[in-house]
Structure 1
Amino acid sequence: MRYVDEPVSKSGADGAGGGGGVSPDLDVVIVGAGFAGVYALYKFRKLGLRARALEAGSGIGGTWFWNRYPGARCDVDSVEYSYSFSDALQMEWDWPERFSAQGDILRYINHVADRFDLRRDIQLNTRVQSATFDEPNGIWRVTTVDGQAYTARFCVMATGNLSLPRVPEFPGLDTFKGDWYHTGLWPDEPVDFTGRRVGVIGTGSSGIQVIPIIAKQASELFVFQRTANFTLPARNRALSGDELGQHKTRYGFWRAEAQNTPFGIAGHPAPTKNALDDTPEDRLARFEAKWKAGGSVSFLYAYKDLLTSKAANDTAAEFVRGKIRSTVKDPATAELLVPKDYPIGARRLCLDTGYYETFNLPTVTLVDAKSAPIVEITETGVKTTTGAYALDTLVFATGFDAITGALADIDIRGRDALSLKQKWAHGPRTYLGLMTAGFPNMFIVTGPGSPSVKANMVCAIEQHLNWIADCVAMLDARKSRMIEADAQAETRWVEHVNEVADATLYPLAESWYTGANVPGKPRVFMPYVGGYHRYRAICEEVVRDDYRGFVIAGVPAIAA
């Protein structure tokens, strides 16, 4: 860390104001009220700070508020995908299933908000339009689309990694006479597909979850697939009271264990062997055991080099390809569903319940939209380069402008009116995924350059906000008014993130990890994939080294 010895105004010296004598409305303005925004509010209130969360939706929950499509559920075990900050909360909440459904997760976060009396500081139906750093006064000015304005010492972007749905700009969509939906913007009321001819565009995680459900209702289902995805059986099941009780008796142990794992998820012993160290027979037995157990982390933990060695990865990929071919009865359909041009795990490794089996139904047709791309949406359905499909309903399972999209959707301006969108025009640049140089006192929760989507998101959120809250408390204790990332430290971190990614198989796949699903978005691998446990240790080391890589301004004269 380096200090910039700047004068501190009377209003700023007590930690209540900015640097130029203007007292802000709030200490902290939080953008978003999903898991990150709700926990941020809890943490800052514990510090005695005036904090307010601004949420675009009519309810809290972020991703779990908007993604109400049939079949939506988490791909991390429920007992892990939950807050750890309150022992009482952990003990009183019972998860009904191994992998929670959207509705259960939404009920959980609403319970948390009520239990800790957080709603009074959450403002719903409030979409943030801009956030501007007022340099003379050292405060952030945040405005909403309906003209409201807030000022705060700190701005915390809890905007989420999967929160800006992407609807492809197909020509003719406005002419379609049927109903259409996006999985990330699903209506409150249930959608009945009974007796309807339905087209689902997209076979990523949301498509893989929604397709088997729609297939049970629709008279005909056409699945338009551009890229085949690897998906593993979830093996979801009800959690018994005894099983939950046993887990709760060791909750503290499991939480501590998760902190020392690459994905922030406990209960999966770290592998000790490389894939090619085993005989083909032993490898097959191991993969079979993982396949039967269900879950993606368990499978990737079969061997320690599955994400770093192409030869090792090929053994796992071929195993899953064999499962697809043996499940799907029509050989031509099976071959379309088999991913062949990227390593398993290099794109998001999905979980499913009956996905491949769905394509054995006589009412389900897989359309190869890669060899025959969609040309347009017509009044009556979808037209590709080789044919037309008459449809009553369209479902877009086309994902999100991930990780940076929600930030880019806000006009964020730092020093000298520097636009964040302009600064990140060639790819996001952060220090630790927590801050970006030129934007003082603006923190990003699970931003690019942090583990974010490559870890248990709730675990990653808690780690980030614990760090941020401690940082704010440090500034107040020192009577310092401002902190920002050092530009050189940021450059070194970006280089490190790239080096770590390049040592893995992740860059070999086009995915939303790199922005490949959004036309014109820079192709940069955004998450830190060195492991959550290593990342956490780096963050702790930075603090021990007196916030190495950060610039702190407004040091009192006695400390200069």
Structure 2
Amino acid sequence: MGAKQYDAVVIGAGFSGLYMLNKLRERGLSVRVIEAADGVGGVWYWSRYPGAKCDSDSIFYNFTFSEELYKKWRWKDRYASQPEILEYLNFVADELELRSDIQFKTRVTEASFQEEDKTWKVTTDTNETFEAKYLISGMGCLSTTNIPPFEGVSIFQGEQYHTGRWPHDKVDFTGKRVVVIGNGSSGVQAMPEIAKEAKELTLLMRTPHYVGEARNHPLGKEQQDAAIANYKEIRDAFFTTPGGIRMFTTGKSAIEFSVEQQKETLDYVWKTGALALGSAFPDVGVSKETNDIVAQYVRDKIDEIVEQPETAEQLHPDYFITTKRLIIGTNFYEMFNEDHVHVVSLKDNPIERVVENGVKLHNETIECDVIVYATGYEAMTGSLLKINLQGRNGQTIQEKWEEGRNVSTYLGLTMENFPNFFMITGPQSPSVLTNMPSAIEQHVDWIDQCIGYVESNGLQTIEAQKDAELSWGKQCDDLANSTLFPQTNSWYTGANIDGTQRGFVIYVGGLDSYRKICDQVAERQYEGFTFEKQSNQLLKTSQ
């Protein structure tokens, strides 16, 4: 059976894949979206753990490209839960009639650029082959789960779950002893919910994190109406703010305020929604003085909330706040005042192995009936590196990126030696430091316009130049090194995966600045790219 022919193949049917499909169909191209799950949703299809929520205000956590689509949907809560987000993405797929071009229960295993006819050959685990001029990754930054290679996982006699691959049916923790490994965002959201049922809950924690109060609440009709009425303002925020979302800010450094004013500002943030700990003083990511002020405020809050001083001390983070993902939760610190909730630091008492009845640490064994791995993802690069992706001359992405240790892209969108291949929210783009739908809309719009340029000019391929790639990497590095981000080991740098340290692979200059750069590249006839015409003639746009 021959390969199925399309103009474009898109991998993934989350926010990115759905919007990319819609845009390319509007352009008149034939598109096939390939999705491993049996439904749309991307990360929101898989991450069904208790308490799963987005950490952007829900009124911003949606598409804004269509005013009609935007005004047809109303969010129930300030921070939308996983079931509601999944419901929203199904609503989008139905409203735009996208399902007919999505192939579910199919995983891309290999994709290779065919030099002879300048197309991508895509192979799946269903033994199907697709050929397309364009290949686009919409797999997302947080979709490849990470379970550390603990010895003995297979012999554990109880239940085991990863927050990123949660069962569709409710997991009942009633009367059970539960161990949670990891306290990133998924662990912080899940534990207070698990604690409501579990007989005993023990957090095994490698690094304590800064957790602000979400202050989640239902959205009343008046608030929902206001969000609908403010469509143009919300759409504008997508592209004119660093994070693609309106956030509270004083616009000044913390050191410009008195100690009393600093506390008053941070008290306001804590009481109204502590995600703004990262924006109240805009220099928090670059000034050690401001960072120390905000970080100490959270540590003081932990001491104020957690009744046992020893436990509070264990929960104190010691890195620069915001240089790991700033987490917002509900009653996370309060949970440790419950008699059946415990925390064990792994710094001096590391995990040695999983045993039949629990987890063996260096100094003790924690017996349990359930293990929950809240150990995160192979973020930013993991999904791409799981595919046998081959560019020109058979060069694999693993070779190009040295197994993820030396990531190189142009604009976080394209790569030299991989013609007609695009990444949505790829490494070296703003991605996870923004409201994701904002970044996705910007990326998809740019990719769509780029493909339009290629098509209207009768070109066969577009490919990033090596010099442009090197220049972009240096720009990203220079920006990151002007901040506090690289001074902390985090999943931003791959440090959560044992044996991996790839450097900081996120553009930290803000989505607004990034958009201007991308637009400028396009306005200059795609500066930094090489094109191939039908006759194989090379056209180069210099920087």
Tell me which interval the TM-score lies in, with the shorter structure as reference length.
over 0.9
Structure 2: give runs of 5+ residues left out of the alignment: none
Contact 1:184 1:399 in 2 (8 A): yes
Q: Secondary structure at the match of 1:217?
A: coil
453, 458, 466: which one aligns with 2:445 = 466
Q: Distance in 2 between matches of 1:513 and 1:435?
A: 20
Q: Distance in 1 between matches of 2:507 and 2:94?
A: 34
Q: How does 1:400-411 map to 2 (within 5 A)?
A: 400-411=377-388
Aligned partner of 1:327 in structure 2 is 305
Contact 1:24 1:153 in 2 (8 A): no
Letter in 2 for 1:387: E
Aligned partner of 1:304 in structure 2 is 282
Q: Using the TM superposition, give the Cα deviation of residue 269 of structure 1 relative to its aligned residue in structure 2, in angstroms.
A: 5.1
Contact 2:358 2:365 in 1 (8 A): yes
Q: Secondary structure at the match of 1:82?
A: coil
205, 213, 223: which one aligns with 2:185 = 205
Aligned partner of 2:6 in structure 1 is 26
Contact 1:24 1:139 in 2 (8 A): no
Q: Distance in 2 between matches of 1:30 and 1:419?
A: 19
Letter in 2 for 1:280: V
Whether 2:332 is the aligned partner of 1:355: answer yes
Q: Distance in 1 between matches of 2:415 and 2:274?
A: 35
Q: Distance in 1 between matches of 2:536 and 2:242?
A: 43
More moved, 73-82 vs 544-553: 544-553
Letter in 2 for 1:415: R
Report Cα offsets for 1:162-208 as digits up to 9, x if no partner.
00001111111100000100000001100000000010000000000
Aligned partner of 1:419 in structure 2 is 396
Q: Which has the higher contact order (CA 8 A, sep 6+)?
A: 1
Whether 2:207 is the aligned partner of 1:227: answer yes
Q: Distance in 2 between matches of 1:388 and 1:24?
A: 54
Letter in 2 for 1:337: L
Aligned partner of 2:463 in structure 1 is 484
Q: Distance in 1 between matches of 2:364 and 2:277?
A: 39
333, 354, 357: which one aligns with 1:377 = 354
Aligned partner of 1:144 in structure 2 is 124
Letter in 2 for 1:512: W
Letter in 2 for 1:505: L
Q: Distance in 2 between matches of 1:82 and 1:46?
A: 20
343, 349, 353: which one aligns with 2:320 = 343
Aligned partner of 1:277 in structure 2 is 256
Q: CA RMSD in A?
A: 1.5
Q: Using the TM superposition, give the Cα deviation of residue 271 of structure 1 relative to its aligned residue in structure 2, in angstroms.
A: 3.5
Aligned partner of 2:160 in structure 1 is 180
Q: Distance in 2 between matches of 1:177 and 1:557?
A: 61
Name the CA shift for 1:295/1:43 in 2 (closer, same or farther; >3 Å).
farther
Report Cα offsets for 1:131-166 as digits up to 9, x if no partner.
100011100000012211100000001111000001
Identity, % of aligned positions: 42
Q: Distance in 2 between matches of 1:550 and 1:521?
A: 30
Whether 2:46 is the aligned partner of 1:69: answer no
Q: How does 1:27-106 map to 2 (within 5 A)?
A: 27-106=7-86
Report Cα offsets for 1:418-460 as digits up to 9, x if no partner.
0101110132100000001000000000001100101111110
Q: Distance in 2 between matches of 1:291 and 1:423?
A: 44
Aligned partner of 1:128 in structure 2 is 108
TM-score (norm 1): 0.94
472, 481, 486: which one aligns with 1:502 = 481
Q: Using the TM superposition, give the Cα deviation of residue 304 of structure 1 relative to its aligned residue in structure 2, in angstroms.
A: 2.1
Report Cα offsets for 1:374-421 as digits up to 9, x if no partner.
111100001100101111111000000001000000000000000101
Aligned partner of 1:4 in structure 2 is none
Q: Secondary structure at the match of 1:344?
A: coil
Q: Secondary structure at the match of 1:199?
A: strand
Q: Distance in 2 between matches of 1:319 and 1:295?
A: 12
Q: Secondary structure at the match of 1:394?
A: strand
Q: Secondary structure at the match of 2:59?
A: coil
Whether 2:374 is the aligned partner of 1:397: answer yes
Q: Using the TM superposition, give the Cα deviation of residue 521 of structure 1 relative to its aligned residue in structure 2, in angstroms.
A: 2.1
Between the two proteins, the alignment pairs up a number of residues equal to 536
TM-score (norm 2): 0.97
Contact 1:155 1:443 in 2 (8 A): yes
Whether 2:529 is the aligned partner of 1:554: answer no
Q: Distance in 2 between matches of 1:242 and 1:304?
A: 31
Structure 1: give runs of 5+ residues left out of the alignment: 1-21
Q: Secondary structure at the match of 2:226?
A: helix
Q: Distance in 2 between matches of 1:372 and 1:332?
A: 16
Q: Distance in 2 between matches of 1:557 and 1:393?
A: 59
Contact 2:530 2:538 in 1 (8 A): no
Q: Distance in 1 between matches of 2:476 and 2:338?
A: 44
